[in-house]
Amino acid sequence: MQRTSIAIIAVMVAALFAGTSYILLAQQPMAQPSQPSNSQSLNKLGYRDISSEELNTMLAKKDFLLVNVHVPYAGEIKGTDRFIPYNKIPQSIDQLPTDKATKIVVYCRSGMMSATASEELVSLEYTNILNLKGGMIGWEQNGYSLVGK
């Protein structure tokens, strides 16, 4: 009888330990593989947002296509290579690089049209798309100037 009681207590302690461990582990976030910082990672739509500061640094050693997608024209960032309306991306494929891995930075006035253009470019299988978060408004708010306004 005493052996049975000890066995029952042992099973109960083991069950309590297992249940407590499960609850504690369930509350812990799952370990994620090492990823680049938010500024370096793609969003769920397949392109990456960049800040005005990042773009300004990139412009010093320009190795990308800079595309203004805002309509109507509301000025531009110095160094802009193309003007393609955000809603005419598929029809303007001849103005885009044939190499789908080419780095392309898109911007508009606020960031909304360029986000739409970025999604469209990703759907056309471009793999290195950067969107200027905050657009020309954010650009100016960070102390950078526009031309052609």
CA atoms of 113 and 116, how far apart (whole Å):
5
Kindly state the tokens that stand for 86: 């955000």
CA atoms of 44 and 27, how far apart (whole Å):
25
Fold of 48-141: Oxidized Rhodanese; domain 1 (3.40.250)
Most distant pair of Cα atoms in the chain: their distance:
94
pTM exceeds 0.75: no
Alpha-carbon distances of 76 from 3, 57, 73, 136, 149, rounded to whole Å: 85, 17, 8, 8, 7
pLDDT tens per residue across all 149 residues of the chain: 566 666 566 555 555 555 554 554 445 444 333 333 334 566 667 899 999 999 999 999 999 999 999 999 999 999 999 999 999 999 999 999 999 999 999 999 999 999 999 999 999 999 999 999 999 999 999 999 999 86
Q: Please state the domain extents for the chain.
A: 1-31, 48-141
Q: What are the residues whose beta carbons fall under 8 Å from the beta carbon of 13, sequence distance 6 or more?
A: none
Q: Tell me which residue of 113, 106, 100 sits closest to 131, measured CA to CA.
A: 106
CA atoms of 30 and 125, how far apart (whole Å):
31
Written as one string, the DSSP assignment of 74-88 is --B-TT--EE--GGG
